[in-house]
Chains A and B, each alone.
Chain A
Amino acid sequence: LAKTTQPISMDSYEGQEVNITCSHNNIATNDYITWYQQFPSQGPRFIIQGYKTKVTNEVASLFIPADRKSSTLSLPRVSLSDTAVYYCLVGETGYSTLTFGKGTMLLVSP
């Protein structure tokens, strides 16, 4: 699995756009990039997954440059309820290899 590096924590205010970048320099050709969100005392929740360029859903956007050595999760107009830990995962899609790092703790303030 490709190792990922992301900031330990980030702060933001309500209504702002938040971009969390993840580095994965040794990403393999077949690897996908996936982001999860985890609230305190809950299990992680899938946010978005992508392979290249840009992916958007109702919750977030995922930007992946051409070299795929990094990716950016973009959360538009965050609210207090977006305070959570965000995990970036990289690997070949399959059943055996979800590896979570320590994630990024996002704190949204009023």
Chain B
Amino acid sequence: NAGVTQTPKFRVLKTGQSMTLLCAQDMNHEYMYWYRQDPGMGLRLIHYSVGEGTTAKGEVPDGYNVSRLKKQNFLLGLESAAPSQTSVYFCASSYSSTTYEQYFGPGTRLTVT
């Protein structure tokens, strides 16, 4: 049982490049989330999904897109990376909407130059 995994762990992009971050969970959770964390800040919600085929915007969705084609996977895409998107990205999942217990992945450190 790996829990929540994220790929890749590190990535450096040039401004304007695109990339996709992959999140996978093996706990059969319905809900999945993408957050970003900047130095000295708490986590901010980018997008989330309440089930396969659904997505919704969080607090800071601009510049990102997501897809949830399979229940266990949640993809975060950057179509045209900007230096402001340099951050650590965390994926999380939860089994229910009646709890705030979310399970987080190890994070992806992204640098945009």
Contacts and interface: CB of A to CB of B under 8 A. Distances in A.
B48 A43 contact: no
B47 to A, nearest CB: 10
Interface stretch (A16-24, A71-79, A93-101): A93-101
B90 A99 contact: no
B43 interface: yes
A43 B4 CA distance: 10
Interface in A55-102: 87, 89, 91, 93-96, 98-102
A46 interface: yes
Interface residues of A, number: 22
Given A32-B100, A43-B90, A98 B106 contact: no
B43 A100 contact: yes
* Overall SS of chain A's interface: loop
Given A99-B59, A101-B42, A46 B102 contact: yes
A93 B96 CA distance: 9
B101 interface: yes
A32 B96 CA distance: 14
Interface string B75-108: 0000000000000001010100111111111110
A95 to B, nearest CB: 4
A43 B104 contact: yes
Contacts of B35: 100
Contacts of A103: 42
Contacts of A93: 97-100
A110 B95 CA distance: 38
Contact of A100 (B42, B99, B105, B106): B42
B58 interface: yes
B41 interface: yes
Contacts of A94: 97
Interface of A: 32, 34, 41-46, 49, 87, 89, 91, 93-96, 98-103
Interface of B: 4, 31, 33, 35, 40-45, 48, 50, 56, 58-59, 90, 92, 94, 97-107
